[in-house]
């Protein structure tokens, strides 16, 4: 039995306050105006004072309009019919396809019981050497991409969506420019990846509350797919927009602000989403890769700062490349010993030598005399940046490892690399230095 109320006591921005009883937090309601019916979500309960965020905005709402509470939180359709489809933050079609009302599931549930989880043990190949070789993405991992505005983070997500060795891609876009939405849609379609993808898109012009719903809808659908035995990769962009939406609503509700105006529960809001990453004991998995833009390139900003305590490492995107120093996948040790026996050798050696290259660059910039070793490092570093770090490079893991050996052989003798003799004998390219 629906509960209908007509006593709207306050309208503040897109938030309306109704006197009602027996209403649950995050419950969905319908607001009936003379023009249309709008969805709204309960965001605060103080006694009989129920505050709701109206999806379509409060324009046209009067204090005498009807509010009907539906008795449940936000629901979204699930199942194979979602594949290849594009929806908005409310779960309504954006692709002119039919609405889906079968197998409805509630969003925003608790994380998976730890007893149902298993230790991550499988690598997700992306075709990007800076990920596959140096910071492997692991199934069920939760990783942010820290970036400043203007970096090609959406291009990287699109590449991963196309190339990642998973069953289903779920893309959750928050505060996207319309051009970015079209880019994702067209890129996935051109490369034949849309058929295994589900897109939930909130653009900058859409209601703020839909921005908050996107991660929950994406992860709820991902969970259902994972329970059916599917390997699911959830791509979220941009979590800073999600947090800004949290802040906007908190300000509207006159909540006491915390660090830089963000609500005091920012950490728990982020953690409740990231902790949905899971590898089920007897089913599929959910892996989360989420863009977090850093205003002013400030890693101490509340959003990246809180994110770093939750996730299992991070990718730093800087100057159009994934920066080798600062980027970290804490779970890579779980998988890179099972790929090829030289994986860890190449990973460790090339990064150590690249660190030395950065020091040689500093010496060069300061006008110091360059030794023969410094010159070798400069040759190596330049080759590494062009042939490995560049995001234009798109090769399988094994080919990337072979390329690593080739770059080493072009710049150094085997003895100079510090690699043990057995590995040199097996993998060092023929007819190269030494």
- Any idea what the CATH number is for the domain that residue 118 is in? 3.40.50.12240
Residue 82 predicted with pLDDT over 60: yes
> Domain for residue 434, yes or no?
no
Residue 3 predicted with pLDDT over 70: yes
Residue 388 predicted with pLDDT over 80: yes
As given in the structure block, the two tokens for residue 142 are: 């939760």
Given a contact cutoff of 8 angstroms between Cβ atoms, the answer to whether 335 and 138 are in contact is yes
| One domain, residues 29 and 147 | no
| One domain, residues 162 and 61 | no
If you average pLDDT over residues 182-196, what whole number do you get?
A: 95
Q: How many domains does the chain have?
A: 3
How far is 335 from 333, CA to CA, in rounded Å?
Answer: 5
- The string of pLDDT tens digits covering residues 5-39 is 888 998 888 889 999 988 998 899 999 988 888 88
353 HSE (CA, 13 A, CB side)? 30
pLDDT at 150: 87
pLDDT at 1: 60
pLDDT at 308: 93
Give 110 or 409, the one with higher predicted confidence.
Answer: 409
DSSP, residue by residue, 22-61? SPPTTEEEEEE-SS-EEEEEEEEEETTEEEEEETT-STT-
Given a contact cutoff of 8 angstroms between Cβ atoms, the answer to whether 137 and 126 are in contact is yes
| One domain, residues 104 and 200 | yes
Among the three residues 308, 332, 356, which one is the final residue of a domain in this structure? 332
> Domain for residue 338, yes or no?
no
| One domain, residues 25 and 41 | yes
Given a contact cutoff of 8 angstroms between Cβ atoms, the answer to whether 46 and 254 are in contact is no
Residue 420 predicted with pLDDT over 90: yes
pLDDT at 260: 86
Looking at residue 82, what DSSP letter applies?
G
pLDDT at 434: 42
- The string of pLDDT tens digits covering residues 261-306 is 899 999 999 999 999 999 988 889 999 999 999 988 889 999 999 9
Residue 432 predicted with pLDDT over 70: no
If you average pLDDT over residues 64-79, what whole number do you get?
A: 90
If you average pLDDT over residues 229-246, what whole number do you get?
A: 95
Give 113 or 139, the one with higher predicted confidence.
Answer: 139
Q: Are strands 75-76 and 168-176 parallel, antiparallel or unpaired?
A: unpaired
> Domain for residue 433, yes or no?
no
pLDDT at 186: 95
How far is 70 from 171, CA to CA, in rounded Å?
Answer: 28
pLDDT at 326: 87
Among the three residues 18, 39, 73, which one is the final residue of a domain in this structure? 73
If you average pLDDT over residues 419-424, what whole number do you get?
A: 93
Q: Whole-number mean pLDDT of the chain?
A: 91
| One domain, residues 303 and 416 | no
What sign results for the dihedral spanned by CA atoms 104, 108, 109, 113? positive
Looking at residue 115, what DSSP letter applies?
G
| One domain, residues 109 and 183 | yes
Given a contact cutoff of 8 angstroms between Cβ atoms, the answer to whether 162 and 202 are in contact is no
| One domain, residues 349 and 370 | yes
Residue 382 predicted with pLDDT over 60: yes
| One domain, residues 111 and 40 | no
> Domain for residue 354, yes or no?
yes
As given in the structure block, the two tokens for residue 180 are: 């970015």
| One domain, residues 141 and 196 | yes
Share of the chain above pLDDT 70, in %: 99
| One domain, residues 102 and 187 | yes
If you average pLDDT over residues 170-176, what whole number do you get?
A: 96
| One domain, residues 134 and 252 | yes
Q: What's the pLDDT band for 162 if we cut at 50, 70, 90?
A: very high
If you average pLDDT over residues 403-412, what whole number do you get?
A: 95
pLDDT at 59: 82
Containing structural domain, residue 107 = 76-332
Strand, helix or coil for residue 29: strand
Cis preceding linkage at 238, omega within 30: yes
How far is 377 from 385, CA to CA, in rounded Å?
Answer: 12
Given a contact cutoff of 8 angstroms between Cβ atoms, the answer to whether 286 and 276 are in contact is yes
Tell me the range of 88-97, 112-121, 400-409 where mean pLDDT is highest: 400-409
Give 2 or 143, the one with higher predicted confidence.
Answer: 143
| One domain, residues 156 and 256 | yes
199 HSE (CA, 13 A, CB side)? 28
As given in the structure block, the two tokens for residue 354 are: 């690249």
Residues in the chain: 434
- CATH number of domain containing 30: 2.40.10.170
């Amino acid at each position: 039995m629906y509960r209908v109320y007509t006593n709207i006591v306050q309208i503040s921005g897109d938030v309306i306050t109704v006197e009602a009883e027996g209403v649950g937090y995050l419950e969905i309601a319908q607001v009936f105006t003379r023009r249309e019916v709008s969805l709204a979500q309960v965001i605060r309960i103080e006694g009989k004072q129920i505050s709701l965020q109206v999806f379509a905005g409060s324009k046209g709402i009067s204090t005498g309009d009807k509010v009907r509470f539906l008795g449940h939180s936000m629901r979204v359709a699930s199942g194979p019919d979602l594949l290849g489809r594009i929806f908005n933050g409310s779960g309504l079609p954006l692709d002119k396809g039919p609405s889906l009302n079968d197998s409805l599931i509630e969003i925003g549930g608790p994380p998976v019981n730890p007893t149902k989880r298993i230790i991550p043990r499988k690598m997700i190949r992306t075709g990007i050497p800076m990920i596959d070789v140096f910071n492997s993405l692991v199934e069920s991992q939760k990783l942010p991409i820290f970036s400043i505005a203007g970096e090609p983070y959406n291009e990287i997500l699109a590449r991963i969506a196309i190339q990642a060795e998973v069953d289903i891609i779920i893309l959750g876009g928050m505060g996207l420019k319309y051009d970015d939405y079209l880019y994702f849609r067209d890129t996935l379609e051109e490369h034949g990846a849309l058929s295994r993808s589900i897109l939930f898109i909130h653009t900058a012009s859409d209601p703020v509350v839909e921005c908050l719903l996107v991660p929950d809808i994406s992860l709820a659908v991902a969970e259902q797919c994972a329970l059916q035995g599917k390997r699911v990769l959830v791509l979220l962009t941009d979590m800073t927009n999600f947090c800004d939406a949290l802040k906007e609503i908190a300000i509207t509700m006159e909540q006491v602000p915390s660090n830089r105006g963000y609500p005091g529960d920012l950490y728990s809001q982020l953690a409740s989403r990231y902790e949905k990453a899971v590898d089920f004991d007897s089913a599929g998995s959910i892996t989360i890769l989420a863009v977090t833009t850093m205003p002013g390139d400030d890693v101490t900003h509340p959003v990246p700062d809180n994110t770093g305590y939750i996730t299992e490492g991070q990718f730093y995107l800087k100057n159009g490349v994934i920066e080798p120093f600062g980027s970290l996948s804490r779970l890579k040790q779980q998988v890179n010993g099972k790929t090829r026996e030289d994986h860890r050798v190449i990973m460790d050696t090339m990064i150590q030598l690249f660190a030395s290259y950065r020091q040689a660059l500093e010496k060069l910039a300061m006008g110091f005399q360059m030794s023969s070793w410094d010159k070798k490092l400069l040759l190596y570093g330049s080759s590494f940046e062009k042939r490995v770090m560049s995001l234009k490079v798109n090769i399988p893991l094994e080919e990337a490892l072979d390329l690593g050996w080739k770059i080493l052989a072009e710049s150094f003798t085997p003895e100079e690399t510090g690699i043990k003799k057995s590995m040199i004998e097996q993998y060092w390219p023929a007819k190269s230095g030494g």
